[in-house]
Amino acid sequence: MALSLVKNAQDRLSTDHFGRPMRGVEEVGSTNERAAQWAAKGAPEGATVLTEYQTTGRGRHGREWTAEKGRNLLFSVVLRPGLSPDRFGLLTVAAGVAVAEAVEAVVSPHSALLKWPNDVLLEDRKTCGILLESSLAPPDADAVVVLGVGLNVNQSDFPASLADTATSLRLAAGRPVPRPPLLAQLLQSLERRYEAVHTGDAASVRAAFRTRLASLGATRTLHAPGTDEALTGTVQGITETGALRLRTADGTVTEVHAGDVTSQN
């Protein structure tokens, strides 16, 4: 099924780099790991690994990512952005915008919103997670970045722990969603937004992210990863490098580069 999905999507591609080449595997530990291995052997920018099932899929901070086999889109793209590491956050911002745009075209009139830094939401429920990981491969080369996307497409049942917080395009649209044309559209949208960051038009990407930022103007609490520290404030938007801007009760605006955003508590 993975090879058929790849072939049908490639027949629809109009990208210059993303998805060219693309490998499909039925089952893999993690597409990010497989893409990083491919990059270490010289895979070009845009090289994509897709699978029908991940046995050790993960989200941010090492959390497990689960998805039913053959119903979703799980893929990773090799990037060689030539950006300083402090601007890698913009790649996640660009990917979020790109996925939201592609998703919204499928589920209209529903709106696809974004939860900083890497979740795409439909009706306040998560339908996609994005995981950006960087490495140096081969030695002494510029940083290689792997962009992983896990999109709930036709999954209709979720574990009890996710039943109230997760959704899929099928549930939102009320019908099955063909995956090959969606995959092609995702890769095209990702390439367009990535190129904007890569060529210096990051302002348009940040503006697009801000218009979809679900928590803009709301009071939220941000929890620092791996600690008990938390910061509460009003979401102001994002910085030039993709960090979240929070205005605390004393009027101070703080830039946050990592963490989990929740409702005020």
Question: What is the domain partition of the chain in residue ranges?
Answer: 2-212, 219-263
Residue 211 burial by CB count (10 A; 0-12/13-18/19+): exposed, middle or buried? exposed
d(CA 60, CA 62): 5
One-letter amino acid of 147: L
Give mean pLDDT in consecutive 10-residue pieces for the chain, a chain of 265 residues. Answer: 95 97 96 95 97 76 65 97 90 98 95 95 95 69 88 93 91 96 98 93 96 96 83 95 95 90 69
Q: How many CB atoms lie within 10 A of CB 1?
A: 12
pLDDT given at position 58: 54
CATH architecture for segment(s) 2-212:
2-Layer Sandwich (3.30)
pLDDT given at position 60: 46
3-state secondary structure of 62: helix
pLDDT given at position 122: 97
**Which pTM was predicted?**
0.92
pLDDT given at position 26: 96
Matching CATH topology for 2-212 and 219-263?
no
- Fold observed for domain 219-263: SH3 type barrels. (2.30.30)
- β pairing state of 244-247 and 22-28: unpaired
